[in-house]
Structure 1
Amino acid sequence: MTTATLDAAAVAQYLIDHPQFFEEHAGLLGEVKLSSPLTGRAVSLQERQMEVMRDKYRVLELRLAELTRRAEENAAIANRFHAWTQALLVSEGGAAMARDLAEGLREHFSVPQVSLRLWNLAPEHAGEWFAQGVSEDARIFANSLRAPYCGPNNDFEAVRWLDEPAAVRSTVMLPLGKHGQSFGLLVLGSPDPDRFTTVMGTDFLVHIAATASTALAPLRT
């Protein structure tokens, strides 16, 4: 009689192909001893299986907690966005819309500094604060943005539109307009370098930019 040497893969495959094995040899469940990575002692196959299942449940619980946290954060942001848009609806409009829009972002989103600049405006708005001090480079930069900029303040011209630009460590810049044709730039600034980062989600920022573009469009020529 020839005895074939079984390797670990063959044994594993055999058990996969014969799921009834441990039903027919139930006594082995208590006799087979495995080393537990949790306690370091030898445990039965049943105990080791329970440890593996507990680890899986623990991972799932952590994942569920993370998803719940993100859902709560998104719900809070959605509520702030709703309150901000309501404030825009009761604005007097005209030049007051730019002021109400910026102040609403500061109030409802707790952003330390907010400002904006617009160009190609109707003549009656040419002397307003939001039409001043915009270079051609700033307009080119706004047109080049295909998504919100989030990250460190790299001495951007737009950051100098804020009340205290020297204090800004992280910033968001949102182009205002449609189809790559900008008529303005909305700027948010924070002294916290981790408030606005390159890895943060931008879905709500895109909605803010779209809403702001619609609200400010009547100021254009």
Structure 2
Amino acid sequence: MTATLDSSTVAQYLSEHPDFFAEHTSLLGEVKLSSPLTGRTISLQERQMEVMRDKYKALELRMSKLSRVAEENGAIASKFHGWNQAMLQVRDDAAMPRVLVDALQSNFGVPHVSLRLWQLAPEYADAWYSQNITADVRMFANGLQTPYCGSNHDFEAVQWLQADKVESTVMIALRTPGTGDTFGLLVLGSPDSERFTSSMGTDFLVHIGATASAALHALVAARLH
């Protein structure tokens, strides 16, 4: 009596004998399979071509996605470079906050940008960027371990933007390099609720925060350096 072969046994046999179809070429046309794409019966050769086409399409989609991501990253890097160039040209520390805000707004196309700094040296105590800072705002910034990105929930700091309508916002704590002590808060806003969402990655925002912190730290009181 001939033993009944299950599918796994057949599959194992074919795997162990890669020359099987080379030795039995007639089977390539005789073996019929059901196509999951068309539902019709096709030969083993046709099914193999379908599988190869599917793999090729998947590879094309993946390459297209990688290319798009590379283009987006390149565009962001170019904007970041322009922002850095603007700040590198600043020779007066007191002018840095305004240049940083304006260059961030223009290079990245953000509708509204502002910031506030505290624990500053006495000569900067009356500057615009040291006004309207409450204890609640400072407490919020201290607890902001990663940038906030998402809907505007009537955050107090959003009032610094002096905009009629802010639907989405980014808030980044500014910290002393090396110690991590908070000395400011950077706020970006948009009337578009989809401009800044909670699903966005924050890696790039972390870089913005680190760069802004380094650029502005010269204004902090010497005892806090």
* Structure 1 residues 31-81: Cα deviation after superposition (integer angstroms, max 9, x where no partner): 111111222221110110011011001001001100100000000000000
Which structure 1 residue ranges, 5 or more long, are not aligned? Answer: none
Normalised by the size of structure 1, how large is the TM-score?
0.95
In 1, the alpha carbon distance for the partners of 2:120 and 2:51 equals 66
* Structure 1 residues 101-147: Cα deviation after superposition (integer angstroms, max 9, x where no partner): 00001100000000000000111111111101111111111111221
Write out aligned runs for 1:119-198 (5 A).
119-164=118-163, 166-178=164-176, 179-198=179-198
In 2, the alpha carbon distance for the partners of 1:111 and 1:64 equals 30
In 2, the alpha carbon distance for the partners of 1:141 and 1:67 equals 37
Match in the other structure for 2:13: 14
Bigger CA drift: 25-34 or 202-211?
202-211
Return the letter of the residue paired with 1:13: Q
Q: What is the CA-CA distance between 1:91 and the residue it aligns to?
A: 2.0
In 2, the alpha carbon distance for the partners of 1:11 and 1:194 equals 54
Match in the other structure for 2:37: 38
Match in the other structure for 1:206: 206
Match in the other structure for 2:70: 71
Which structure 2 residue ranges, 5 or more long, are not aligned? Answer: none
Question: Equivalent pairs: percent with the same residue?
Answer: 63
* Structure 1 residues 150-173: Cα deviation after superposition (integer angstroms, max 9, x where no partner): 111111111111121x51111111
* Matched residues, number: 219
Partner SS state of residue 52, structure 2: helix
In 2, the alpha carbon distance for the partners of 1:118 and 1:210 equals 15
Q: Is the aligned partner of 1:215 residue 2:200?
A: no
Partner SS state of residue 150, structure 1: strand
Partner SS state of residue 115, structure 1: strand
In 2, the alpha carbon distance for the partners of 1:97 and 1:180 equals 21
